[in-house]
Structure 1
């Protein structure tokens, strides 16, 4: 869908118009036809949050009020209202104009972002590919650089959603790795797809153990973005790339828990999306992305409860639950991240059901070792309304993952599951680090406004907002 800047004198040519105003009476400052103005004048009993629409034979006009938006959560409520407007416009019109009258650029950004994100559809496997009719959004009263940013980030989110929505039958470990490499072919990013032999050379015991039950070999993808050949300390992003998770020999029960496990690479998809957006906006700083990829399946060769695995760091791990596989592959990647002199490492993973149980499907859990970066990330998450809730990394939780026969065990028991997973990962980091557990928010079973249904791309908007102030 094309997103472009137009001028006020051209708005009459658009049959579908969306006007952003602080309050309803401001609609009459817009250049609208006499018939539309007359119909708006007849509207009464209007509350400050209402979206008011009028329709004539030739026009469909929406008045979106914005003065009531005073905080981050209300801004997201506005996004949801704009998503409903998209649904109304997209059935009959090929183009629309969004006219910003006196609303702030931040408010306008949220509205256009929601409108654009609402256009996503995954129809690859539909016999009848019913798509919306909109192909062009013209914007009046907006800054061009904001529109470019919306388009780049939204496209990255769509790519992440596409990856998450693909079944494992068409997105195996190797296909996912190839898809990542192809995505960056025409950019200045450098992509290395490492095979099993390289993973063995690196002694990545966690990734190799999880992969033992698979018919597909593991992959390890490294994306480097360094447009200025900088020697600065790097930001490193790590994404969990489990393309399908049966739970292994600790099989998921009931089996319905497997229905959405194609989404267990939601963290990896988010990291890929972030890197693509950074390339598109020509981000001026050094960033590395590390993505360990495998599925977690059952076979006679699969790793088993009771196994002891030697990790890349030399740490030994007693496996008590093969369904705690995400932390096994992340641990090797986090240890490898130290090779890049990181200023900060952020991992993104659909890691624990405990995080989902705690904060639900529209938020995520975070924890980390650098208080200032962590608070900045939380603030960024609230601004885009992908809320992050900080969980503690108190030392008292460490005893829950101490093993009797190895250094640590891969689960900490029935309580504090999201925290003990974080404590496990902390054993493999020696640098400033933040962990994001997006277990509930990476995939939605029911449609939710501009987030859609299925893969969401959760985390991309948060990290992109966070990186606005990266130095």
Structure 2
């Protein structure tokens, strides 16, 4: 479990704070936000100091001496233009603050919530503060981050629901950081079985966990997972998580792609310089695992089946070859034209298993195609689906979570590209080879395995970031987790989130 600071809402005068830092927001254009003017006066300034390094742009952070205050430093946080203020801007500002100074101080008081004192804005600030404080500590010899507590100044008449808002923000942020930890773990330490067991540790208290080994996979006709994993020393697994709360109001399935490392197989990954980031090819599975592990803490009243196809796409004499034909769980045969289009092949088995359980909605999450990054960039998610209601639900959840998501088309006339002379379909389609509609071809392939079930496919280029930005770190970002949790919360009756420390099981 990642170590994150504790949050506390307070109506105390922030100028009387005795924390190590007082952080106040300012807008671009010499405009102080609530709490800034009085704090600046207290340290002997009659306005916001401006220079080339601090203009008030969103995410700018500047520390000042604070001789007139009880804190060690006064920190200015840029909010950007006042007319562009949004909940997401507040989330990003909070993340920029803790990312910039979280390793330098033990505690912070901030007036960020006073800028726009609504429930949604408060929750966004809280999430940003926590997400920005994340540091992957798996192999660091240095001590963990210093930041232990953040006090959030709120108006005296603020929402009576503040405790619940804080709890939900904490659970969402912790879940996203759990996914980050999984993605950031070196692939040499996280084979398919290792990931399955990490999932059991994370979610086993409130979910029933089942792990299929290679023998069971063969018995269950999961030829796609077996074919992709046959070239690796570490055999594949299918991970099944069942969250079954009393009084469930809906039944859904989440399916995650879990390629623990992707060499591209015999076709080889291209370009090769992106190979180090291929430990992130299990980010879809990480999102499903982290989501399922958080459901009980949020008291989600939806039955959830989580299915993750876990394999390593390796190069060896046993690896699948271009031109091989694979029989998947539902009997569909697939001609493998490109061994680097392996994610959809393992997902075919996982989707078929999920469909057998007749969910009312099914969402798969995957780092499926490089083409999605060409379409929406590496800071967004590409969404596909035929069920208009389910697509709208996921897009609304993504907007509430602040995770940029854009719907892409599924042109029916492209489906013929999946035809094969020797099997029911091929695993690429013409578009994947020449960068035309590659993301759509991946989605069209997956749709063959979800007939009759409302379904959305999320292709996630944003699962990995080369540079840190706002509340997102370099490396694994945990993309998709808060979107899935928001969606499941919106599908549940409104109930307070239980205490994180209260024991309980969601099994029945």
- TM normalised by structure 1 equals 0.91
Aligned to 1:183: 202
Which one of the candidate residues 470, 473, 487 is aligned to 1:452?
473
- Which position in structure 2 is the counterpart of 1:148? 167
Task: Report deviation, 1:64.
Answer: 5.3
Instruction: Pick one of 237, 241, 264 that aligns with 2:281.
Output: 264
1:12 correspondence with 2:24: no
What value does the CA root-mean-square deviation take over the aligned residues?
2.6
Distance 1:226 1:25, change over 3 A: closer
**Distance in 2 between the 1:395 and 1:445 partners?**
35
**1:207-226 alignment runs, 5 A limit:** 207-226=225-244
Q: Give 2:260's aligned residue.
A: 243
Separation (CA, whole Å) in 1 of partners of 2:240 and 2:298: 20
Q: Which residue of 1 aligns with 2:130?
A: 116
Distance 1:240 1:43, change over 3 A: closer
Q: Does 1:101 align with 2:114?
A: yes
* In 2: Cα distance, 1:102 partner to 1:360 partner: 31
Cα distance change of structure 1 residues 316 and 8 upon mapping to structure 2, 3 Å threshold: same
User: Do the aligned residues in 2 keep the contact of 1:21 with 1:101 (CA within 8 Å)?
Assistant: no
Size of the aligned set, in residue pairs, is: 463
The runs of at least 4 consecutive aligned structure 1 residues that moved more than 6 Å come to 44-53
Q: Could you tell me which of 153, 171, 187 is aligned with 2:190?
A: 171
Unmatched segments (≥5 aa) in structure 2: 493-508
Q: Are the equivalent residues in 1 in contact too, given 2:337–2:427 (CA < 8 A)?
A: yes
Q: 1:176 to 1:87 in 2, by over 3 A?
A: closer
Matched with 1:193 is 211
- Residue 450 of structure 2 corresponds to which residue in structure 1? 429
- How far residue 333 of structure 1 moved from its aligned partner, in angstroms, is 0.8
Provide the rounded CA distance (Å) in 1 between the counterparts of 2:223 and 2:96.
48
CA–CA distance in structure 1, aligned partners of residues 336 and 36 of structure 2 = 67
Change over 3 Å in CA distance of 1:56–1:76 after alignment to 2: same
Instruction: State the SS of the aligned residue for 1:378.
Output: helix
**Residue 363 (str. 1) matches residue 373 (str. 2):** no
Find the partner of 1:135 among 145, 148, 163: 148
Q: What stretches of structure 1 of length at least 5 have no aligned partner?
A: none
Q: Does residue 442 in structure 1 map to residue 463 in structure 2?
A: yes
| Partner Cα separation in structure 2 for residue 130 and residue 113 of structure 1 | 23
Q: How many angstroms apart in 1 are the aligned matches of 2:62 and 2:187?
A: 44
Q: CA deviation at 1:273?
A: 1.2
| Partner Cα separation in structure 2 for residue 405 and residue 80 of structure 1 | 51
Q: Which residue of 1 aligns with 2:74?
A: 61
- Equivalent residue for 1:382? 399
Match of 1:310 in 2: 327
Alpha-carbon shift at residue 202 of structure 1 (Å): 1.4
Alpha-carbon distance change, 407 to 82 in structure 1, aligned in 2, over 3 angstroms: same
Q: Is the 8 A contact 2:9 2:153 kept in 1?
A: yes
Q: For 1:195-242, what per-residue CA distance to the aligned partner results, in whole angstroms no more than 9, with x for missing partners?
A: 222211211111111111111121111111112164x54110000010
Residues 1:299 and 2:352 are matched in the alignment? no
Give distance in 2, aligned partners of 1:66 and 1:255. 39
1:130 deviates by 5.2
Alignment-derived partner of residue 157 in structure 1 = 176
Greater mean deviation of Cα atoms: 7-16 or 236-245:
7-16
Say if 1:21 and 1:103, in contact at 8 Å, map to a contact too: no
C-alpha separation in 2, matches of 1:52 and 1:164: 31
CA 1:283/1:71 → structure 2, altered by over 3 Å: closer, same or farther? farther
Q: In the alignment, is residue 469 of structure 1 matched against residue 473 of structure 2?
A: no
Q: Please report how far the alpha carbon of residue 69 of structure 1 lies from its aligned counterpart in structure 2 after TM superposition.
A: 5.7
Q: 2:367 aligns with which of 346, 350, 364?
A: 350
C-alpha distance in 1 between matches for 2:56 and 2:374: 36
Q: How far 1:116 sits from its partner (Å)?
A: 1.1
CA distance in 2, matches of 1:303, 1:44: 62
Take 2:197 and 2:49, find their aligned partners in 1: how far apart are those partners?
Answer: 57
Structure 1 residue 425 displacement after superposition: 0.5
In terms of mean alpha carbon deviation, does 248-257 or 362-371 score higher? 248-257
Distance in 1 of aligned mates of 2:328 and 2:81? 53
CA separation of 1:134/1:337 partners in 2, compared to 1, >3 Å: closer, same or farther? same
1:402-417 paired onto structure 2 within 5 Å: 402-413=419-430, 414=434, 415-417=436-438
Q: Are 1:82 and 2:94 counterparts?
A: yes
Pairwise CA distance, 1:343: 0.7
Q: Measure the CA separation in 2 of the matches of 1:108 and 1:70.
A: 19
**1:352-371, Cα deviation, whole Å (9 max, x unpaired):** 01111211110121101211
Over residues 69-128 of structure 1, what are the superposed CA-to-partner deviations in whole Å (9 max), with x where a residue is unaligned?
6668x543443333332244324321112333362232232222112111111132233x
